[in-house]
Amino acid sequence: MNYKRVVLIGFRGAGKSTLAKLLAEHLGWDYISTDSQVEQKHHETIAEMVRKSGWEKFRQAEHEIINSLKNITAVVIDCGGGIIEDPENIKLLERQSLIVWVDADTHDLNKRIRDDRIERPLLTRKDMSADIRENYQRRRPLYEKYADFRVNSSHSSPEQLCRVIIQKLRDG
Ligand code: S3P
C-alpha cells in the first residue's frame, strides 16, 4: 500500500465525520478532525471563534493545524468543508495521501446542515439556503480538482463507502 493516510474533503453535511471514524476503525488508524483540533487548541468552538474574531482567524487556525499534521501517517483526516479554499492546505495534505471527496445530493446537504446539532456559522450574509447553494456551487470544482475520486453518501451506506475506499487504498 503506497498511501499512508486518507484525507476526506467535501461540503458541510456530506457525512465526512461518520465515514472517517468508521474508516479509521476498519484500518486501525487514528482519526483526526481538523475542526476538533482547532477547537481544542483555541479552547473555543468554531462558532465562538468566528463570532469574536471572524472567518479569517478561523482559516489561519485551520491552516496551522493542517501544517502540524503534515508528517503524521496511519491516520484518517476529517477536514472542515472549507479546507480547499487555501491551495497551501492541499499541498500539505496531499503527501502520501488518498484524497476522497465525500459528496451528497443537495437535498441531503441542506437537510443535514439544518438538522445537525453542531452550530455552523453561515459563510456569507445570505440566508441559509442561498449560503449553502452558492458556496456548494463555487466549491464543487475545487473538491473535484483536489480529490483522487468522489463518493456519494446519499446512495451508499458508510460501510459500503468504507469498502470502496479500502479497495482504492489497496489498488494504490
Ligand atoms: C466550514 C465547515 C465546517 C467548519 C467551519 C467552516 C466551511 O466543517 O470547518 O464551520 O467553510 O464549510 P464541516 O465541513 O465539518 O461542517
Residue 134 is predicted with a pLDDT of: 94
Residue 117 is predicted with a pLDDT of: 72
What distance in Å separates the CA atoms of residue 59 and residue 78, rounded to the nearest whole number?
A: 16
Count of domains observed in the chain: 1
Compute the average pLDDT of residues 143-156. Answer: 97
pLDDT tens digits for range 41-72: 999 999 999 999 999 999 999 999 999 999 99
Residue 128 is predicted with a pLDDT of: 87
CA of 84 to the centre of ligand 1 (A): 11
Residue 108 is predicted with a pLDDT of: 94
Which of 71-80, 85-94, 106-115 shows the lowest per-residue confidence on average (mean pLDDT)? 106-115
pLDDT reading at 131 higher than 80: yes
How many Cβ atoms from other residues are within 10 Å of residue 125's Cβ? 7
Beta-carbon contacts of 43 under 8 Å, excluding residues fewer than 6 positions away, are: none
User: Structural domain of residue 61, as residue ranges?
Assistant: 5-171
CATH of the domain at 12: 3.40.50.300
Residue 121 is predicted with a pLDDT of: 84
| 78 Cα nearest atom in ligand 1 | 15
Residue 1 is predicted with a pLDDT of: 73
> b vs e for 136-154, b when ≥16 Cβ sit within 10 Å of the residue's Cβ?
beebeebbeebbbeebbbe
Compute the average pLDDT of residues 61-84. Answer: 97
CA of 8 to the centre of ligand 1 (A): 12
Q: What percent of the chain has pLDDT over 70?
A: 100
153 phi and psi angles, rounded to 5 deg: -80, -5
- Greatest alpha-carbon span in the chain: 46
Pocket perturbation via mutation, ligand 1, pick of 37, 39, 63, 120 by most ligand atoms within 8 A of CB? 120
pTM above 0.85, yes or no: yes
CA of 33 to the centre of ligand 1 (A): 11
**pLDDT, the chain, mean:** 95
Write out the three cell numbers for 155. Answer: 446512495
| 11 Cα nearest atom in ligand 1 | 14
| 12 Cα nearest atom in ligand 1 | 14
Residues with CB under 6 A from ligand 1: 12, 35, 46, 80-82, 120, 123
Compute the average pLDDT of residues 102-112. Answer: 94
Encoded amino acid at 167, one letter: Q
Residue 72 is predicted with a pLDDT of: 96
Q: Whose CA is nearest to atom 4 of ligand 1?
A: 80
CA of 83 to the centre of ligand 1 (A): 8
